[in-house]
Structures are given as C-alpha cells and as structure tokens.
Chain A
Amino acid sequence: MRAAGRLARRPVVGVGAVFLGLTFGMGALAPHLGFLFPEGTRLVYTRATFPELVASHALLTGSASLIAIGIGLAAALFATRPSGRAYAATLDRLGALAQTFPPVAVLALAVPSLGYGDLPTAFALVLYGVLPVMGAGMAGLRSVPASVLEAADGSGFSPAGRLWRIELPLAAPILLAGIRTSVTIGIGTATIGSTVGALTLGSPIIDGLSGDNPAFVLQGTVLVALFAVTVDLALGEVQRALPRRAP
C-alpha cells in the first residue's frame, strides 16, 4: 500500500494521466478551442482519431526501438568480447558518423528502395535508435573494473555466466540511460515519418503545416511531447528501481 502511495506521487503518473486524458479527450475538446485560432480554422482532425494516431505511433516506435535495442546491444557485446575488440574503434566511429545524417535525409534516401509508409520510417528510427544503445552498451560494459573481471574469471565463471551475472548487471545503469535516450529520440523522430505516409502523431502536424492549420499542429505537438515525456519518466522509474551499487 505504502509503495503504491509513493508511486502515485511520482511525476510519471501525473504526466501519463494528462497524456492519456488528452489522447481520448482531444476529439471532444477540439471543437471548443476555436478562440485560440484565426476565424474559420477547422478544429477537428478527421483523417484518424487521436487514439488511433497514438496507437500507430506507439506501435511504430515500439517495434523500431526493440529492434534498435537488439542490434545496439548485440553490437556492444560484440565490440567488448575478445573476438570483436578489433572492431570496437570502427563501430565507435560508425556510430558518430551515422548520427550526423539528418533524419529527413535518411527518409528521402530510404523511400526509393523501401517505398512509402511505415517501412522507411521504421528503418530511419532503427538507424537512429541503434547508436545511443550501442554507445551506452559499450560504455557500460567497459565501465566494469578490470579487477572485477579478473576475479570473475579466476572464480571459474564461464564467459556467458560472467556476462550475465557480472557484466550486464554492472553495465545496466549506463545501458538503460542509453535505451532511454534512444526511445525518447525515436518518439520525436517518428513524427517525421508522416512526410512519407506513415500514420503517426506527426500526421496532424504535417497536415496542419501544409494546410495552414495551426489547430492540427498544436494538437499533434502537444500529444507527441506528452508521449515522449511520459515514456522518458517511466524509463527513469525503471532506472531508479534497478539494484543499487554500480561500480
């Protein structure tokens, strides 16, 4: 009970409630916002309902993030094993380089080969999401002191046992910070996917910008911002809940 009470006072609960409330209430709220905008502005977005937009946005960023976390973690593991250590510097450089491409450019390049819609968006999201995870994974695994690794080897851990019981738990705080960055960036970046036809919270923003409709822009922006902040705070709670004592 006390734990539940403490949790209820965490910011994630409040921000999350506002996000969910606006997701389901935007349809009812929108017609009453006319005073904010120039006379004659269409106030209700009709291409899709906001719960549909949020669900589609969440599915797209969620699946892209899972793939990105998988690839990023695998790359970080590879780069910190004896067999892959020679590639670590290359992966570091590749990571830094890939982050300099603007997301729109990635989308534009992806469309000819992947077509319009979710696929090029997911591709861009994965590409962007991998790097923070990979970087944080490498930093986290490298932060485990050499003495701890030597003691683990000397105690007779198998390589997999050492990774699972010693290295990953000790790398977890830094790794999770990277995952948090990756997912939060992904939620924001996904809006750009609507320029190539993906259904996301970017759809009202893009339609509003091209149709000169500030109401749509505001509705999409507020929701995507709340979405990103909610997820960021939620992952922050996971970080807090991790066992104490990083090295």
Chain B
Amino acid sequence: MIRFEGVSKSFGGAKAVDDVTLSVARGTICALVGTSGSGKSTLLRLVNRLLEVDAGSIRFDGEDVTRLAPVELRRRVGYVIQSVGLFPHWTVERNIATVPRLLGWSSARIGERVAELLDLVGLPPGLHARRYPDELSGGQQQRVGVARALAAEPELLLMDEPFGAVDPPTRRGLQDSLIAIQRRTGTTILLVTHDVEEAIRLCGTLAVLHHGRLLQTGTPASVLTHPASDEVARFFGGPLLGLNRLKALRVGDRAHVADPPAAEGEPIDTDATLETALARMVAEGRSRLPVRHLADGRSGVLDLADLVRP
C-alpha cells in the first residue's frame, strides 16, 4: 500500500528522517513510534506531501507520490491531527462533507455519507449534525475529525497522535471505535504515536524510529519480546519493558493443555492479554487460571510460570 524506499528529509542541515525503508501492507494498522524528535511526524507528512522528500521515494499504491498532484493525492488520503483542526465556521455536517464537496459529489450522496459517518464514529446525526465545533467536547471533536478524514472513503488514513489531547477514558473509547471502524472499512492506517499502550492496542505493526532512523519493525509481540537495541528497549519501558510485553501477548500464546485436575475459577479467553491474566491472578490470589477455547477445542490452563517463560 505504502512503500518508503531510502527516504531522507532534513531541516536546515539536521536530518529529521534518515534513510528509512518501510512497507505498510494494505488493510493493516502500522504505528510509527518514537520519542519527540524521532522524525515520526515528518515521515507521516511526507506521505501526503505536506513535506517533500529530499532523497528516496514513497510509493502509494505503486505510484510515486511526487508524480501525483498534491491536491489530488490529499483528497485520496485521510488526515487526522492531534489538534483536530475542525473548521470553526462550519457545522459538523459541513466539516465532514469537506472532501466529498471538493470532489464534487452530489448533495444527496453527501447527505447520505455524512449520516453514515456520524453513525460510524458514534455521534447520533440528529443530535450533532448541525452543531458547531465549539459546542462539542474534545473527544467528540476528534470523532468528527476522524469522520471528516474518512468521508471520501480513502484507501489510506494518516493519523498524527490523533488521541493525544483527550483524557485517558475518552482515549480508550476512541481507540475502540477506531479498531471497530478499521475492521468494517478495511482502511490502511499509518498512525504516529508516542503512547506505547496505544501502539500495542491498535497496531498490527510497529515501526520504531530514533533520531530519524528506523530501528526495528515487527508485530508488537515480536518487538517487545526481542527488542533490537537498547534504544528500542528503553522506549518500550526500559526496566518496565516486561510489563509492556504482557500487553502485547495473548493468553492463547502461552496457555497449555490442562493436566487434571483443571484449574478453578472463571475461565479466561484466549485473546485476552497476558496483562489481564496477570491482573486476575493478582486480584484472585491464584497462580493458575482455566482458559476457554484453546485452539484444538480442549480446555486449557495458564500458569503464572507461563507468563515469565521466555
């Protein structure tokens, strides 16, 4: 879907992005993670040509982005930023209709699409369509921001720390909505975040950047289990890396077939995280939990020792 090939970008002599090669597969969510100044936002903005590459190339659906007119390209790619940037003089529905209007859709089609999107992001159209951005909470504004970015059914959605400015419970709600939306639409998402938990929760692939260089790519489980360098380990918690690893691994990865007698207590699902399993063990004072739906249909168990198994 997107292929970065030896991409570099400097600002006044300082390399913000340094020879990055990375592929994002269609229909997946990829997180660009790293500390401030790692070049992750710069890399994102090179895709829709808000910035231009100095060296290397970016291919979008096989086409070099520099061969596409910036305005046409941006109408095909959704863009969500932390500060949302809703147009304050337009109602919610007009904001969402931005790109369809630029593309010249009929008003009937736009009206249908706006109602559909408000539903998709969890804002009842009857309540919100005619409100203005300053009448919405921060979380609602970002829901509208996501709806606006998805309005013209883009194949690719770029998100720059989209949920960084909202409080943690709201952020969880928005993340859950995004996961559900992505499952329904199959949109490819490239997401910048410095929130380790968000990256692990949302993304199938992590790309870890440090001082503009790509240090490691892989699934959250593989990156957290085998960090390629000290920088990567430090970013994912340093001494607390192990706790974050429990967020990236699932019960199904570690459970094993039960030797009778089976464990007592409420069974845990195989797709629950090991973090949840550990939390239950601590809360319930057990070192063994029964597991539901082990792959071969038999019941299983998870021991505390399974969590620390390398």
Contacts and interface: CB of A to CB of B under 8 A. Distances in A.
B89 A154 contact: no
Interface in A130-154: 145-154
A166 interface: yes
Interface stretch (A36-44, A61-69, A193-201, A239-247): A239-247
B84 A170 contact: no
Contacts of A169: 89
B134 to A, nearest CB: 7
Interface string B45-89: 000101000000000000000000001111100010101111111
B102 A151 contact: no
B299 interface: no
Interface residues of B, number: 24
B235 interface: no
B165 to A, nearest CB: 10
Given A150-B81, A166-B87, A243-B89, A155 B132 contact: no
B257 to A, nearest CB: 51
A144 to B, nearest CB: 9
Interface stretch (A50-58, A71-79, A94-102, A156-164): A156-164
Contacts of B85: 145, 147-152, 154
A156 B74 contact: yes
Interface string B76-111: 000101011111110000000011001000000000
Given A150-B50, A169-B89, A156 B75 contact: yes
A170 B89 contact: yes
Contacts of A166: 87
B220 to A, nearest CB: 27
A247 B88 CA distance: 6
Interface residues of A, number: 23
A97 B44 CA distance: 44
A147 B134 CA distance: 14
A169 B81 CA distance: 22
A158 B81 contact: no
Contacts, number: 67
B102 A154 contact: no
B88 A151 contact: no
A155 B102 CA distance: 9
Contact of B71 (A150, A151, A158, A246): A158
B148 interface: yes
A156 B102 contact: yes
Interface in B121-178: 132, 134, 145, 148, 158
A243 B72 CA distance: 30
B88 A157 contact: no
A150 B79 CA distance: 10
Contacts of A146: 83
A245 B148 contact: no
A133 B134 CA distance: 28
A150 B145 CA distance: 13
A245 to B, nearest CB: 5
Contacts of A154: 48, 50, 74, 79, 81, 85, 158
Contacts of A247: 88
A24 B176 CA distance: 72
Contact of A245 (B48, B50, B84, B89): B89
B127 to A, nearest CB: 19
Contacts of A156: 71-75, 99, 102
A244 B131 CA distance: 12
A169 B145 CA distance: 20
11 contacts: A145-B85, A147-B81, A147-B83, A149-B85, A150-B85, A151-B87, A154-B79, A155-B79, A158-B71, A170-B88, A244-B132
8 A-B pairs with the lowest CB-CB distances in the bound complex, closest first: A151-B85, A154-B79, A147-B83, A156-B74, A156-B75, A147-B85, A148-B85, A245-B89
Given A145-B85, A147-B84, A155-B99, 13 more contacts: A147-B81, A148-B85, A148-B86, A150-B50, A150-B83, A152-B85, A153-B50, A154-B48, A155-B75, A156-B99, A161-B102, A169-B89, A245-B89
Interface of B: 48, 50, 71-75, 79, 81, 83-89, 98-99, 102, 132, 134, 145, 148, 158
